[in-house]
Structure 1
Amino acid sequence: MSIATNTGATERPGDFLDDLSVQDSPDALKFVFSGGKLVLRGQALPKSGELKTRPLTPLGTYQGKSVLVGVLEGEVPEGFTLSNVRATYGVLPDDLFGLAGLAHQIVEFHRTHRCCGACASELQKGDPQGGRGRYRKCPNCGLSVYPRVAPAVIVLISRGEGPDTEFLLARGPRQAPGVYTTLAGFVEPSETLENAVQREILEEVGVQVGNIRYQFSQPWPFPHSLMLAFTARYDSGEITPQPGEIEDAQWFPALKLPSIPPPFTSSRRLIDEALGTLSLTTR
């Protein structure tokens, strides 16, 4: 049976407003991190005043509430737990899951950009006035740095027609046991998205593709990617998995797929939408 995809869960909510001047308040939404993980009380965000943090960074407003992110001071108190942001899908409501991704990207930006890459001076928070948004600035040489967004292509490759359609799916060493997914990779400097699709597929599984079609995009804050989803048709070549990157890759009949990624992923949306055009369903 088909499960509805929900790639929008990783997006900031539509009525979220950037506002770098918001202040803390009793009803503020606070995303607190420790060691790169989100601090939760049960299945909810901590309430105001429950945790001691370093100075909070304002993100904006959502449904009239201030949204802020901070880093926990000291140990995690009893009654609280740590969770990878990705693992909070289905735990937090979708809107808060999307905001948690934004918060994680911003707190990681500040953690990994403490010093200037040009002169090694300590970076300072930039003045957001003038529409420049979030950035850090070097007081010595003037270099400005902004939160990183790394574009990556993700591709569903198919061959055959109708109920005879097959998808080329693969699994890597970090994939959950038994799960197969679409192919993906980062875009290189001075490379078009289409060229990135062809290069990544050739590198990872040794086949040539054509009829490359853009489908949609998805923020992927794990930690700072933007997924650009494509479909492509198989042209030629035999599957040759790239050592160290691909453990296994196979052609799977559309009517008999292996375990595939969860509904909030680009991979799952690509597969489900392709099956929809064939009037087929996932298991």
Structure 2
Amino acid sequence: MTEIKQTIDGNAWWFILSEGKIVALDRGDYIPFGTISDLPFPNGLIDNKVLLGQYQNSPCYLIEVEANLDVGLGEYVTLRSLLGNVADKLFDMAGRAFQIALFYKTHQFCGQCGQKMQRIDWEIAMKCYHCQHRAYPRVSPCIIVAIRHKKKILLALHNRHQNAERPMYTTLAGFTEAGETLEACVEREVFEEVGIKIKNIQYVSSQPWPFPHSLMMGFIADYDSGEIQVDPNELIEAHWYDIDDLPVIPRHGTIARKLIEKTLKRCR
């Protein structure tokens, strides 16, 4: 991580977390921004701040507080509620805040010897001074893929979306296994979830996905062979949809939406 001078004399972005939620304003960029003297922080609030990086040339700090502490700013909202409502890079920084907070919470003790871990003050890491083991935030690589077949796109209803008022249909995704290439993972996940073979696999882009600590690698591909056979452990249903007759699809700001839109353009 590039070192950033930890000065709080000027303006800064403040990512204040509590109980899985983040403090957001109802105006502007949503994330609190300003100097300590400008913002009504309670005494001692910033004592345990963690430098996350920079956004628009200003430092970004993580502060985790006790359950729903009133910090005099905005209200607590879910991270997902910011998706599509704030700039992509600001959302990524908010996601980073959640991932770092989770890392500190889940790495209190050494996984090698069991002793208490300590924070390192010059990078995001925890160290055991008993056995010298050092731990860094976990990142879980995942693939996500949109598949084209002539003038249609494959969309699926995942188990986690079935109870929504307006169920959302999206692309296929899955975690990369140890020793597996991303392309091999794409082929495996598609075959496991819907029973078809694909070809012309192309990488598009990636997106940090802090639910809780994934890195989504996005692909597009073409249908090759087979009939859809849904894995009920993963999906409720999956179908080929005409590009002009789509169900509810993911919101803007998600890599799934980006892959779907790219595939639709290829179909026209």
Q: Do the two structures share a fold, i.e. TM-score over 0.5? A: yes
Question: Structure 2 CA distance, aligned partners of 1:80 and 1:63?
Answer: 22
Quote the Cα distance in structure 2 between the aligned partners of 1:106 and 1:27. 22
| Letter in structure 1 aligned against 2:50 | T
Tell me: higher relative CO, structure 1 or 2? Use CA pairs within 8 A at least 6 residues apart: 1
- What are structure 2's unaligned runs of at least 5 residues? none
**TM-score (structure 2 length as normaliser):** 0.86
Shift of 1:93: 4.2
Which is worse superposed, 55-64 or 20-29?
Answer: 20-29
Query: How much does 1:135 deviate?
Result: 1.6
Asked whether 1:244 is paired with 2:233, we answer yes
In structure 2, C-alpha distance between the alignment counterparts of 1:235 and 1:74, rounded to whole Å: 51
**What's the counterpart of residue 157 of structure 2?**
171
Work out the number of aligned pairs and report it. Answer: 255
Question: Structure 1, unaligned stretches of length 5 or more?
Answer: 1-16
Taking a change above 3 Å as real, the CA distance of residues 240 and 86 of structure 1, as seen in their structure-2 partners, is: same
Q: How does 1:93-242 map to 2 (within 5 A)?
A: 93-126=87-120, 128=122, 133-160=123-150, 165-175=151-161, 176=164, 177-242=166-231
Distance 1:18 1:69, change over 3 A: farther
Deviation at 1:98, TM superposition (A): 2.6
Instruction: Provide the TM-score with structure 1 as the length reference.
Output: 0.82
4+ residue runs over 4 A deviation? none
Which amino acid counterpart does residue 29 of structure 1 have in structure 2?
A: W
8 Å Cα contact 1:123/1:136 also seen in 2 = yes
Of 36, 41, 52, 1:50 maps to 41
For 2:82, the aligned partner's letter is: T
- Go from structure 1 to structure 2 and tell me whether the alpha carbon gap of 1:264 and 1:75 turns closer, same or farther (over 3 Å shift): closer
CA distance in 1: counterparts of 2:121 and 2:73, whole angstroms: 37
Q: CA deviation at 1:80?
A: 4.2
Q: Which residue is equivalent to 1:28? A: 12
Instruction: Give the whole-Å Cα distance in 2 for the aligned partners of 1:208 and 1:95.
Output: 35
Q: What is the aligned counterpart of 2:258 among 241, 265, 269?
A: 269
Aligned to 2:61: 68
Q: CA contact under 8 A between 1:210 and 1:233: conserved in structure 2? A: yes
Q: Identity percentage over the alignment?
A: 39
**Pairwise CA distance, 1:108:** 1.5
Residues in 2 aligned to 1:216 and 1:134: alpha-carbon distance in whole angstroms: 25
- Greater shift after overlay, 74-83 or 195-204? 74-83
Q: Deviation of residue 278 (structure 1)?
A: 3.7
8 A Cα contact 2:148 2:267, kept in partner: no
Q: Secondary structure at the match of 1:247?
A: strand
Residues 172-199 of structure 1: per-residue CA shift (max 9 Å, x gap): 1212432110000000000111111111
